[in-house]
Amino acid sequence: MINQLIDKIKQTGAPIVVGLDPMLSYVPEHLRKKAYAELGETLEGAAEAIWEFNKQIIDHTCDLIPAVKPQIAMYEQFGVPGMIAFQRTVEYSKKKGLVVIGDIKRGDIGSTSAAYADGHLGKVTIGSNTYAPFNEDFATVNPYLGSDGIDPFIKVCKEENKGLFILVKTSNPSSGEFQDRLIEGRPLYEWVGEKVAEWGESHMGTGYSYIGAVVGATYPEMGKVLRRIMPKTYILVPGYGAQGGQGEDLVHFFNPDGLGAIVNSSRGIIAAYQQEAYQQYGAEHFAEASRAAVNDMVKDIQGALEAR
């Protein structure tokens, strides 16, 4: 799957992933009203509104981007109907030819970790039937419990030819409370990065591992260090745009070949119509605003890479 992701990045010239993290406040009023008229102001109504919101954004951006990253919490908050919207989003994205990174940030051990891996990346057998419940292409995972939590995911990834993005240095302001703590004179995130590179050696694609890392755009100097520690690791970079990261902050995450990283933007794209720069589109044309935001993001990143 890492080879497919890289091929899509090369085809589109867009090393970016659109985070499908739909808060109801991002969904234009006309979509909410339509969903509520059909299903009421209910969990079902909310789920229908975010599904239609996602669908239109996918339709307007799928030819420009290689991948999407639905954040599962934004769907779980609406209970079972929300999870159905998540599943529909995954299926529709794949139908449109997009790679799907399930942003699930799971982290547990033993049979629990195996169950998460089977549910999101693998298959389950029920009687004589086998199903792929959510069927994402990649999943994000938390390594805090060590190899006991990661190994079941890697096992499924090898069986299904899928991949992971493991949290190494996250973009949130308080990440340093733990991740920057020194262990034998080096910050914890460096030790985690070394372990990710080690895990990745067991599941290699052509040039890059199926086992990737998450490193926030808000810490470019740390990204430079981690790029050296993990030369064959694809880095998922959150924190672009709304969280402060810009194209010039990202060059250290990429290898000289222009590959090695994929940059995420969520509300900066899906809620672009709410920003001053795209207000001319209005709520009725929110998906066109998202398309314009994707084009601007690609230009920003490619311009920074060419200037380095």
pLDDT tens for each residue of 262-273 = 999 999 999 999
Whether the pLDDT of residue 258 is over 60: the answer is yes
Contact 20, 70 (CB under 8 A): yes
Predicted confidence at residue 242, as pLDDT, reads 58
Q: What is the pLDDT of residues 133-150, one digit of tens each?
A: 999 999 999 999 999 999
Helix axes of 79-95 and 43-61: crossing angle, nearest 10 degrees: 20
* Cα dihedral sign, 7-234-162-265: negative
Give CA–CA dist 22/47, Å, rounded.
Answer: 10
CA distances from 120 to 41, 75, 160 (A): 29, 15, 11
Query: Letter for the amino acid at 136?
Result: E
Q: With 0-12 CB in 10 A as exposed, 13-18 as middle and 19+ as buried, what is 217? A: buried
**pLDDT at residue 12, rounded to an integer:** 96
CB atoms within 10 A of CB 259: 15
Provide the pLDDT for residue 244: 55
Q: What is the pLDDT of residues 16-43, one digit of tens each?
A: 999 999 999 999 999 999 999 999 999 9
- 286-305 pLDDT per residue, tens: 999 999 999 999 999 999 88
Q: How many Å apart are CA 4 and CA 73, to the nearest integer?
A: 26
For 90, the token pair is 């995954």
Distance CA 79, CA 270 (A): 22
Active site residues: 105
Residues 69-95: tens digit of each pLDDT: 999 999 999 999 999 999 999 999 999
The share of the chain scoring above pLDDT 90, in percent, equals 86
DSSP H helices in 19-129: 29-39, 43-61, 73-76, 79-95, 110-120
Please tell me the pTM assigned to this model. Answer: 0.95
Domains and CATH numbers, the chain: 2-17+98-307 (3.20.20.70)
Residue 233: the pLDDT is 96
Token duo for residue 141? 């995972």
Integer angstrom CA distances of residue 64 from 10, 292, 294:
11, 10, 8
Residue 99 clears pLDDT 90, i.e. is over it: yes
Q: Model confidence over 199-252: pLDDT tens digits?
A: 999 899 899 999 999 998 877 888 889 999 999 999 999 988 755 567 777 888
Distance CA 205, CA 222 (A): 25
Q: Which residue type sits at 78?
A: F
Nearest-angstrom CA–CA distance, 23 and 254: 31
Half-sphere exposure (Cβ direction) of 36: Cα atoms closer than 13 Å: 10
